[in-house]
Structure 1
């Protein structure tokens, strides 16, 4: 496998909810990095006509499929939200497919001899650090996360705190990072950090 830049081929990009990870991923994509997005892979794994969606129909019934043949996420959510066993059944269907999709996209990126970024929101929570060469964490303090999440999703303070608390704390992620991207300032400040950070890789 060829190595890119400073002997890093695969970068794991993560952060907390509302930390600005999508903004960082877009900047990296605009500067020649291949982005492999876990959220997009999750949608592909259960898109209309996929084997993943058919298996979900078999396990959970026709009620979780909409008339247009796509997944009824609300109906499925109601089944799995309060039932750990049902949630595990869903994960057993979806997770292996997501891994396969991401692995294929990663290999395609490496074949182009470009740095590959695995954009994985729950990288630490799912213990995936070993699958990447280096971890970059997009960091903002918890109080900034909560403020931005309330503004972005029109959430109450209680709802925002609950969502932020459902993930590993941003301080813990910061401690585990190889590189920390501080996004608590202006967009200009963020881009300046990124410009310096990516120089060895492009």
Structure 2
């Protein structure tokens, strides 16, 4: 029964689960469940390899990282290489790939929103880089893709990108295919393998 309780709390994730929800799921009373939860809590605390604690926030029970691991976990979670690209980042990356060299202002005009944060994220992941400056007032930065971008997507050159016209013919809109998360989803943790 302890394993079932531990499993339900695990699956509940960040939302956690209440004592009454556990009791209903396991066909037990809350008074029967409470000592079992305490036993799971103690087992996690006592096990030398356990990185988690079972805590109660309000009415809900959930797992959290043990306090002594907080700095390490925080650094890992904030590392740009551990996060997948969001839809806005993928859109920005595709625009740079198809229209390079391109300024942030032009990207903003195409997307209809500011792309500054997306450009910073893509630069930090080595997918785009500064390729020059436009000979215009303020000398805005021109962006282009990196060799890592080509390597990651197994492209020998930008000519290997699918033509935008083909994308428009084969889908409801070009942006649905061009910005498809399945096509462009990146987990840069793979780059170390």
Q: TM-score, normalised by structure 1?
A: 0.23
Name the structure, 1 or 2, with higher relative contact order (CA <8 Å, separation 6+).
1
